[in-house]
Amino acid sequence: MINDIQHTAISTGDMERALAFYRDLLGFEVLSDTSWEKGSEQTANVERLMELDGVAFRVAMLRLGTSQLELFEFNSPVPTPSDSNRPVCDHGITHICLSVTDIDSEYERLERAGMRFHCPPVDFGGRTVATYGRDPDGNVVELYELQERGD
């Protein structure tokens, strides 16, 4: 039986930049931050799991509420950078979604901090308001608010 999503993982070319975004700007708590060296005894199982040879990377596990996010920065093998403007219709993970309170304030705060958004928050004609933005590596981060409506 599958119970829930334990975490989502993102590979970045710059761990400090990713931490500044997810930890400092979005408020994730860092649970762990460690490095795995190429050729160490512990990397054999990681290489098997990832189907990669000669792995060396830094990995940080973050938490926001009950959700966890794992950030990888690979030194080996040398990663291929992704398109920071990859359309969300392309195959693969399209976005991570963060539930927010006061989406307009969060949008303004994050935009002032330099986060690039596709558009301002969109009201979907009910109680749902959302917008898509990009992290420093171009991964899409959705801000989502389920608003109370006084009818």
- Write down the pLDDT at residue 146: 86
In the chain, the amino acid numbered 90 is D
Residues 11-70: pLDDT tens digits?
Answer: 999 999 999 999 999 999 999 999 988 887 778 888 888 889 999 999 999 999 999 999
- What span, in angstroms and rounded, lies between the C-alpha atoms of 42 and 9? 20
Q: Domain coordinates of the chain in residue numbers? A: 8-76, 96-146
φ, ψ for residue 16, nearest 5 deg:
-60, -40
Higher per-residue confidence, 149 vs 130 = 130
- Write down the pLDDT at residue 77: 94
Q: Which superfamily is assigned to 8-76 in CATH?
A: 2,3-Dihydroxybiphenyl 1,2-Dioxygenase, domain 1 (3.10.180.10)
Q: Is 75 helix (H, G, I), strand (E, B) or coil?
A: strand
Which numeric CATH code is attached to 96-146? 3.10.180.10
DSSP letter (8 states) at residue 119? S
Residues 101-136: pLDDT tens digits?
Answer: 999 999 999 999 999 999 999 988 777 899 999 999
- Write down the pLDDT at residue 149: 63
- What span, in angstroms and rounded, lies between the C-alpha atoms of 38 and 43? 7
User: In terms of Cα–Cα distance, which of 44, 41, 43, 19 is closest to 32?
Assistant: 19
